[in-house]
């Protein structure tokens, strides 16, 4: 929930975003919650605030990552209050497409400092920098996410092919069956298709719960795939 009485002004970023300006309380699904919407609507800002409130590093990683490369993080986290259940997650990871390179670099730095076992072993054993961006992402989903945890993903589709996105839905299901909770900001209708979930669409009207087929992302993609030639004529005229 947003502690609205503590917000100094709703005229400045990020509180002037419609999704934040109208926010009082957001109920998260015990299995999967999606934040969707156009660019600039506040998905990543809200996701970051939730992640930091849970104890994650703003740039990503597991609970024990504390590196910082550039302090550009929103103050929204200072005004968010999370109400959690009794069970404490035994695992967790905050994965951000934009800062995943920094996470991979921090892993290598920590492993060079000695000690065993090496952190990279829990990511599949191969340096994340020696894999493509998509391979490193997917390796993290498969190897590092161990279940019984909370996993926060910011636009994971940025590095994944459509086939890998479908494989990710399967992995989401595996993690749910291992008593995990996921919160995902995404533009991908494939990734947001997991049925046992809440989908919140952020727009100029605020935050509204939607079904998959009601989201703008799904409708636009469907229109394009149903008749790409017609859509292209419209775009290129």
Is the whole-model pTM more than 0.85? yes
Other beta carbons within 10 Å of 83: 8
Dihedral Cα 45, 46, 49, 52, nearest 10 deg: -90
For domain 4-236, give the CATH number: 3.40.50
Return the top range by mean pLDDT from 7-16, 65-74, 175-184.
175-184
Local confidence band at 100 (pLDDT 50, 70, 90 cut-offs):
low
Phi, psi of 175 (to 5 degrees): -70, -40
The β-bridge relationship of strands 197-203 and 206-209 is antiparallel
Average pLDDT over residues 16-36: 93
Domain boundaries, the chain: 4-236
Phi, psi of 96 (to 5 degrees): -115, 125
Average pLDDT over residues 29-36: 96
| Chain centroid to CA 59 | 12
Average pLDDT over residues 168-182: 96
Average pLDDT over residues 164-171: 94
């Amino acid at each position: 929930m947003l502690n609205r009485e503590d917000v100094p002004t709703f005229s400045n970023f990020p509180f002037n975003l419609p999704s934040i300006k109208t926010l009082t309380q957001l109920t998260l699904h015990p299995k999967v919650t999606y934040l969707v919407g156009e660019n600039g609507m506040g998905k990543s800002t809200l996701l970051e605030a939730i992640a930091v409130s849970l104890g994650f590093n703003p740039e990503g990683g597991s609970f024990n990552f504390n590196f910082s490369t550039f302090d550009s993080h929103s103050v929204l986290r200072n005004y968010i209050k999370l109400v959690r259940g009794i069970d404490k997650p035994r695992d967790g990871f905050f994965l951000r497409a934009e800062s995943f390179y920094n996470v991979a670099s921090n892993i290598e730095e920590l492993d060079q400092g000695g000690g065993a076992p090496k952190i990279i072993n829990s990511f599949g054993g191969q340096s994340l920098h020696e894999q493509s961006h998509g391979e490193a992402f997917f390796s993290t989903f498969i190897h590092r996410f161990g279940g019984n945890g909370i996993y926060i993903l910011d636009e994971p589709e940025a590095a994944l092919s459509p086939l890998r996105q479908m494989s990710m839905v399967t992995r989401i299901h595996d993690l749910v069956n291992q008593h995990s909770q996921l919160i995902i900001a995404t533009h991908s209708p494939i990734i947001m298709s997991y049925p046992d979930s809440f989908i919140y669409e952020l727009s100029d009207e605020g935050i509204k719960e939607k079904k998959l087929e009601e989201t703008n992302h799904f409708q636009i993609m469907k229109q394009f795939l149903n008749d790409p030639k017609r859509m292209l004529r419209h775009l290129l005229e």
